Amino acid sequence: MTKEIRTVEFVVLPVTRTKAKKMFQIAGACRYVWNHFREKNLADYQAFRNGKGQRPQTTYFSLGVEFTKLRGETDWLRELPANPIKHTLKYFADALKEAMTGKKGFPKPKSRRRTAPGFTLPSTGQFRIEKRSRKYSLLRIQGVGWVTLSRGGGNPWEDGTPRQAVLRHDGHRWRAFVSYEVRVEKKPDDGEILGVDMNVRQVATSDGHFYHLPDLKKKEARLKRYQRKMERQVKGSNRRKDTKRKLARVSREIADVRNNWTHETTKEISGKCGTVAVEALKVKNMTASAKGTVENPRKNVRQKSGLNRVMLDTALGKVRRNLEYKCGRLIEVNPAYTSQTCSQCGHTDKENRKTQARFQCVNCGFVSNADTNAAINIRRLGMAQLHVEERSGSRQTPASREIDTRLHNG
């Protein structure tokens, strides 16, 4: 049992107009405070950078003292709850620290146009959650009152201890991201490994299961239509604004479907096995230009081009990250030849791959789904890798014993 933080996303349902206004006011105050202290610290920072001044001693604590003073002098600020607004300065102090190390530049101003309105309720003193039904909960925000939270699939971590809540407006509606401290029980490391093959159509596991990617063709077509439409429309016109809203909505829908699918899939996979093996990321492939390389001009143009490909890579990257934290261990194997090698006899041949979906070994005649075959290969490579790791150090697990037996039997 380990304690971990899990964040649950809710939609905040239309609250009364006064409450909505209050939420925007708090978010606006956060932006104001950020910009106010940014301006106050900018000159000192620049002087220090140019070697003319002393190293600024600004910390979250010193900012907090100044914030209290500012709040005492500003009527409209005093009418809003202090904690979420003050918490902005935590983010600012962190950004300032990064700038001091030279890793990043001085924090940028938060513009009304480009910053999504939002604020953080840093501790349970500022909010309370009460469950009403599977789908609905109530959230009490200090200084605002009760609002309704909705989440179609229910709250998977309702038994956890809420620690922090982030409210953010995505241009369409408010969303709440509630972080729970939860106790998770990871699958014990019993030496078993599940091989996972990911590609454009589906995620396949070495036990013969498939997780098909959700069909988003219609939504993606709509997305493209709106993008083209927006390009034609006059900047600043009401029609363009309308298209922009529609575009944002369909992007969100696509992201939601993908996210849900990722969570469901990785939850199921991690429930099967404590250790999974995946292909190491083909970084070169993923960043390869759509125009192809010098040696290989325009070879991958079709599959690499376009927004879909980018979004898909992002989605599969998410699957990988989710597996990493949900499973006990993630092993990365060299992806070379996993799709051309027979998982039964080990014969490697381009001809083994009859079609995208079908694998038929020219040596032993083994027939399988091509992705399942790849997943089994990935599992075998994962086990070999685990074996090497264990040889160079620790105890024997059933997996390494199995490899021993295999090696022994030829």
Please give the residue ranges that form the binding site for Zn ion (CB under 5 A): 342, 344-345, 347, 361, 363-364, 366
Q: Is 65 helix (H, G, I), strand (E, B) or coil?
A: helix
At its nearest, how many Å lie between Zn ion and the CB of residue 365?
7
CB-wise, 268 or 351, nearer to Zn ion? 351
CB-wise, 204 or 361, nearer to Zn ion? 361
The candidate with the shortest Cα–Cα distance to 85, out of 22, 172, 1, 176, is 22
In angstroms, rounded to a whole number, what is the distance separating the alpha carbons of residues 37 and 62?
A: 11
Read out DSSP for 319-375?
HHHHHHHHSSEEEEE--TTTTTB-TTT--B-GGGB-SSSEEE-TTT--EEEHHHHHH
What is the longest distance spanned by two Cα atoms in the chain? 83
* Phi, psi (deg, nearest 5) at residue 15: -95, 180
CB-wise, 164 or 372, nearer to Zn ion? 372
Q: β-pairing, 193-198 with 202-205?
A: antiparallel
At its nearest, how many Å lie between Zn ion and the CB of residue 345?
3
Single-letter residue type at 349 = D
Structure tokens at 276: 């999974």
Instruction: Report yes or no: 380 and 399 within 8 Å, Cβ to Cβ.
Output: no
CB-wise, 130 or 351, nearer to Zn ion? 351
Q: Is 225 helix (H, G, I), strand (E, B) or coil?
A: helix
At its nearest, how many Å lie between Zn ion and the CB of residue 136?
55
In angstroms, rounded to a whole number, what is the distance separating the alpha carbons of residues 28 and 82?
A: 13
Instruction: Report yes or no: 89 and 63 within 8 Å, Cβ to Cβ.
Output: yes
Q: Is 107 helix (H, G, I), strand (E, B) or coil?
A: coil
At its nearest, how many Å lie between Zn ion and the CB of residue 216?
36
In angstroms, rounded to a whole number, what is the distance separating the alpha carbons of residues 325 and 328?
A: 7
| DSSP annotation of 13 | P
CB-wise, 2 or 355, nearer to Zn ion? 355
At its nearest, how many Å lie between Zn ion and the CB of residue 377?
11
CB-wise, 308 or 344, nearer to Zn ion? 344
At its nearest, how many Å lie between Zn ion and the CB of residue 276?
25
At its nearest, how many Å lie between Zn ion and the CB of residue 355?
17
CB-wise, 126 or 372, nearer to Zn ion? 372
Q: β-pairing, 161-169 with 118-121?
A: antiparallel
CB-wise, 193 or 342, nearer to Zn ion? 342
CB-wise, 250 or 378, nearer to Zn ion? 378
At its nearest, how many Å lie between Zn ion and the CB of residue 379?
16
At its nearest, how many Å lie between Zn ion and the CB of residue 394?
34
Read out DSSP for 120-167?
EE-STTSEEEEE-SSSEEEEEETTTEEEEEE-TT--TTTTSEEEEEEE
